Amino acid sequence: DIAHAGEDHTLTVFETIYIVIADVGGGIFIGLLLGYIGYRLLKYVDNDAVEVEVLITLALVLVGSQLADFIHVSAKQAAVVMGLVIGNEGKSTHVASAAGDYVFKFWKLLEETFSAMLFVLIGLEMLVLDLRLDFIAAGFFAICIVLFGRWTSVFVPIKMMSVKNHFAPNTISVLTWGALRGGLPIALSLSLTEFHGKDVIVTMTYIVVVCSVLYQGLTVPTLMRSAGSKSNT
């Protein structure tokens, strides 16, 4: 949306913030609405009717994506929120399970299948990726921005909750460094419509994900051991 809106005129900071909030907020609203409707339907249907429950979840995804595209909000955000609502409420312990185990097994199978296909496509995409020096430099700069954003998102709530709760001294460092990025950011960047600058975003995303998996992923155990030894002393 930002890319297409910027084709007509130069976007201001406030216009960009408004587009992001409207896109994400609309997706969250649709996800919450359809997620609650789906939860009520799954709760009404008997868990032995596996086919009906699976079809309900599939219908929710299709309707949610079409509705989100119709009103020009994030269909991906809506799908994530629907999954969170049904995934949490569907297996809630204070009420009878709304969704049967086979529903979660079905979506787990789809997740693993599409993840395998995604990483194969990611490997093929790297063969045609335009590896320019300025794009790579922008990617390493994006790593710093992503880490700072993660640190901010962890630091603020932990400091607020520290008033009533106790956290280990290195909680913020471990949670910040342990936030690994996988195939989803790359899939989202590749799914963008063609516009001037897409190659930069795809290259930056690749670099962030690769450094996250290789560098952060391999050093997280060392950081956790170091944090554990410091907390014991």
Residues 62 and 162 both lie in one domain: no
Q: Does 128 reside within a domain? A: no
Q: What is the rounded CA–CA span in Å between residue 24 and residue 73?
A: 7
Examine the pLDDT at 38 and tell me if it is beyond 60.
yes
In a domain, 159, yes or no: yes
Label residues 83-106 b or e (16+ Cβ within 10 Å = b). bebbeebbeeeeeebbbbeebbeb
126 assigned to some structural domain: no
Looking at mean pLDDT, say which of 26-30, 38-42, 88-92, 182-186 comes out highest: 26-30
Strands (E), the chain: none
Shared domain for 7 and 105, answered yes or no, is yes
- Which candidate, 123, 122, 94, places its Cα nearest to that of 185? 122
pLDDT-derived band at 135, boundaries 50, 70, 90: confident
Residue 8 counted as domain residue? yes
Both 13 and 55 in a single domain? Answer: yes
> Is 79 part of any domain?
yes
137 and 91 share a domain? no
Q: Are residues 150 and 100 in the same domain?
A: no
Q: 232 falls in which pLDDT band (50, 70, 90)?
A: low
Last residue of a domain, one of 112, 141, 158: 112
pLDDT over threshold 80, residue 6: no
Q: Are 79 and 31 in contact (CB under 8 A)?
A: yes
Higher pLDDT, 148 or 122: 148
Residue 96: predicted pLDDT: 47
Q: Which residue, of 112, 147, 180, is where some domain finishes?
A: 112
Number of domains in the chain: 2
Q: What is the pLDDT of residue 3?
A: 52
3-state SS, residue 23: helix
Closest CA to 203 of 148, 140, 149: 140
Note whether 71 and 137 are same-domain residues. Answer: no
Q: Would you say residue 25 lies in a domain?
A: yes
Shared-domain flag, residues 163 and 101 = no
Whole-number pLDDT of residue 194: 75
More confident site: 151 or 101 = 151
In a domain, residue 127? The reply is no
Domain that holds residue 214: 133-232
Q: Is 125 a domain residue?
A: no
Burial 4-19 (b: 16+ CB within 10 A, else e): eebeeeebeeeeeeeb
Residue 198 confidence (pLDDT): 80
Instruction: Return d(Cα 199, Cα 88) in angstroms, integer.
Output: 37
> What is the chain's mean pLDDT, rounded?
79
Question: Given a cut of 70, is residue 158 above it in pLDDT?
Answer: yes
Mean pLDDT of 18-27: 80
Report DSSP state, residue 12. Answer: P
> Is residue 6 domain-shared with residue 100, that is, in the same domain?
yes
Does the structure show a pLDDT above 60 at 119? yes
